[in-house]
Amino acid sequence: MITKETKIGFIGTGVMGKSMVKNLLQEGYSVSIYTRTKNKADDLIEQGATWKNTIAELSQQTTVIITMVGYPKDVEDVYFGKEGILENAKENSYIVDMTTSKPSLAKRIFEEGAKRGLYAIDAPVSGGDVGAKNGSLAIMAGGDKDVFKRLMPIFKVLGENIILQGEAGAGQHTKMSNQITIASNMIGVCEAIMYAKKADLDPVRVLDSITTGAAGSWSLSNLAPRMIKGDDAPGFYVKHFIKDMKIAIESAQEMGLKTPGLELSLQLYEELAQKGLEDRGTQALIKLFENESLHIS
């Protein structure tokens, strides 16, 4: 049973992870943290989080272990190996990967965890930095129904739209559907803003009209205003979106599915990264359209 006395371990305190930890602390949970660069977690430690020097130490001293790292390779490093979660977590612990990663890797963690008496859930999220700060993330889960229910008190601190999509890996597949939707939509958002400007319209007033109609989307409401202001601070990194799109394309190909919109979006974001903007927010895509430097083949 999950209670406020349950010790939570959180690995990965980046743009989103940091806000997620803050919400757990504010709700009264005991949270231990580990991230590769300790000084980036200093403010969390000041707010009450307990620093652990290694993943192994954190895993041995907590009951619910949440991971929010960057790439599938990072997920593998965190979970597998002598110093990883699987080798060091106590029996009957819960392991929750909230990284956007490969569905096949989620299944592997679930299967290896089961062999060790661990309860694994893949639970990637959507909502960006805003959703993480507000505790309003969409959480897409895959795994055992009873385990999902037991973890619900924690999930409710982090998000609002919390759905178990199926067995292990289903959460990651759902997140891929989410990213595929966003990928093509981001192109449309950029084109719409540039069209409004070329037509000598005030793009802010245009947004006032179109965000509540059939064109409405999270990206249009939340990222388009940042595009207009020239604010490309990362709520979600370009480099991580590229990673997600590559996973989605790989998964789609395995299922024999064509994704031309996704492939075009990946091409544009890779061009953006080549211009040195991989550490900016995904809304930085507008810069390609502003500079009229698209090289679509």
The answer to whether 4 is a known catalytic residue is no
Q: What is the pLDDT along the chain (297 residues), one digit of tens a residue?
A: 899 999 999 999 998 999 999 999 999 999 999 998 898 899 999 999 999 999 999 999 999 999 999 999 999 999 998 999 999 999 999 999 999 999 999 999 999 999 999 999 999 999 988 999 999 999 999 999 999 999 999 999 999 999 999 999 999 999 999 999 999 999 999 999 999 999 999 999 999 999 999 999 999 999 999 999 999 999 899 999 999 999 999 999 999 999 999 999 999 999 999 999 999 999 999 999 998 655 555
Distance from C-alpha of 123 to C-alpha of 248, rounded to nearest angstrom: 16
Distance from C-alpha of 85 to C-alpha of 76, rounded to nearest angstrom: 10
Domain ranges of the chain: 7-167, 173-290
Distance from C-alpha of 290 to C-alpha of 70, rounded to nearest angstrom: 29
CB atoms within 10 A of CB 233: 11
The separation between CA 153 and the C-alpha centre of its own chain, rounded to angstroms, equals 20
Q: Report the helix count and the strand count for the chain, using DSSP H and E.
A: 15, 9
CATH number of 7-167: 3.40.50.720
Answer yes or no: CATH 1.10.1040.10 is held by domain 173-290.
yes
Run of H or E including 188: helix 170-198
Look up the pTM and report it: 0.93
Active-site residue, from 22, 52, 175, 239: 175
Pick from 143, 149, 141, 138: nearest CA to 172: 141
Strands 7-11 and 30-34: parallel
Residue matched to tokens 């599938």: 72
- With vertex at residue 151, the alpha carbon angle to CA 62 and CA 23, rounded to the nearest 5 degrees, is 75
